[in-house]
Amino acid sequence: MTADRAQTLVWDWTIRLFHWLIVLLIPLMWWTAEEGMMDWHRRLGLTMFALILFRLVWGVIGSWTARFVPMIKRLRSVPAYVRGLIACRNGPSFGHSPIGSLAVFALLAALSIQVGTGLFSVDVDGLESGPLAILISFKTGREIADFHELNFNILVALVALHIIAVAIYRFVLKDDLVRPMVTGRRGDVEPVSTVKVRPMALIASVVIVAASLYAIINAG
């Protein structure tokens, strides 16, 4: 292993921060909902909205391994990649593997639906509601709230599958996916592109998120 390869940056700091904040927020949001701490649930929901929106924007204008286009291209290789995994043939990827790309899109879709429905949800008594529930009827808000609960179960299932997959990679395929998500670096891949946080792209992403948050908070 060369010194250069040992220092290969795979994940920029924004992706790593996003990942671990999501890991923290999901159980916190579940707990605040279960305990009826709806003020905190709304605050955490808006934080989740900001993170998801940032990730979606960053998937277009961010660093190479954060972008969606390379991941979409890798989806075509999912069947062949899965056959390789079954045969315990696993080559490290610079960025998301084909099945990792599929997992990213599934989790982002579930998280986006969870946040989106939360913005419009209304509780049974109509006392607690999302910041955009004022734009729809009570009946529609209740229907969305039911779907919000259903989608959370789907999200939990996807998270469980993700954890199981990470464990399989670690203990069966001998590929540690957690450490690179902490350090950002891998020593067993050849770089395809430079992973770099461009200041203007970061500023643009933050501005879009801040403007969207402002619009939602002041919608009522």
Q: Taking residues 111-134, report their average pLDDT.
A: 94
- In contact, 28 and 58? CB cutoff 8 Å: no
Q: Are strands 8-9 and 185-186 parallel, antiparallel or unpaired?
A: antiparallel
pLDDT of residue 64: 96
pLDDT at 102: 97
Calpha distance 78→34 (Å, rounded): 37
Q: What is the pLDDT of residue 35?
A: 95
Q: What are the residue ranges spanned by the domains of the chain?
A: 3-217
For 50-91, the pLDDT digits (tens) are: 999 999 999 999 999 999 999 999 999 999 999 988 888 777
pLDDT band at 220 (very low <50, low <70, confident <90, very high): low
Residue owning tokens 């649930």: 41
If residue 147 lies in a helix (H) or strand (E), which one and from where to where? helix 138-171
Pick the CATH number of 3-217 from 1.20.950, 1.10.4100, 3.30.70, 1.20.120: 1.20.950
| For residue 1, pLDDT beyond 50 | no
